[in-house]
Amino acid sequence: MDIFDTAPAEGSIRFEHYSYSARSQLRNAPGFSMVINAPRKKVWDTLVDFSEYAKWNPYIRTATLLDGSKKHLPGSNPQLAKGNYVGINVHMPPSLDHSIKTQTLAEFIMHVKPQRQLAWGSSKTKFEIIAVFSGLGPGLAKEWMRTTVTACIEEMAGALKSRCE
């Protein structure tokens, strides 16, 4: 089951930010929740009004919607859409001080469900492959299998990376 199949609790908005490997490490992912005494629409509208971030958001100082090739989306009111990017400038640690240098990131928009869920993260993919062998043969040739198969897997991963990038 995909994590996006689990809807946030009724009356809540879930904002998710992933590093490339965080989906497999959700148990250890930092998180926080709080009750905001405002209608969900107002909270959502504030969350997605990137032009106002510098006024209130101490972590994400600016945010701009970008297309799939990371170019600015045309128009005065571009829409959030899966497959686009959001360009963000962040303060770490959070601060409203405009004189502090920001870090710039382009985050891939992974999921949008208006007034319910927004997820963005790195567009990187962590590729993992594990070779499991059983029987008498692998036991007898354990060292050869380990080094040979490891070399084969590393070559495959490198070729996949080259082809995809």
Q: Kindly report the number of other CB atoms within 10 A of residue 157's CB atom.
A: 13
How far is the C-alpha of 119 from the C-alpha of 90, rounded, in Å?
17
**pLDDT of 19 above 50:** no
Amino acid identity at 137: G
Amino acid identity, position 19: S
Higher pLDDT, 153 or 106: 106
Q: What mean pLDDT do residues 126-134 have?
A: 61
Proportion of the chain above pLDDT 70, given as a percent: 64
How far apart are the C-alpha atoms of 55 and 100, rounded to whole Å?
Answer: 15
Question: What is the layout of strands, in order, in the sheet containing 85-90?
Answer: 14-18, 117-121, 103-113, 85-90, 60-66
Residue with token string 């080259």: 162
- Report the chain's mean pLDDT, rounded to a whole number: 74
In whole angstroms, how large is the CA radius of gyration of the chain? Answer: 21
| pLDDT over threshold 60, residue 3 | no
Alpha-carbon distances of 108 from 35, 41, 90, rounded to whole Å: 27, 23, 15
Place of tokens 């994400």: 60
Contact in structure between 60 and 90 (CB atoms under 8 Å): yes
List, for residues 33-90, the tens digit of each pLDDT value. Answer: 677 778 888 888 888 888 888 899 888 899 999 998 899 887 767 788 888 999 988 8
Long-range pairs, 127-134, Cβ under 8 A, ≥24: 127/157, 127/160, 127/161, 129/153, 129/156, 129/157
The enclosing H or E element of 152 equals helix 142-164
Could you give the CA distance from residue 85 to residue 67 in angstroms, rounded to a whole number? 6
Residue holding tokens 């303060």?
91
The domains located in the chain, with CATH, are 3-121 (3.30.530), 127-165 (no CATH)
* pLDDT value for 124: 61
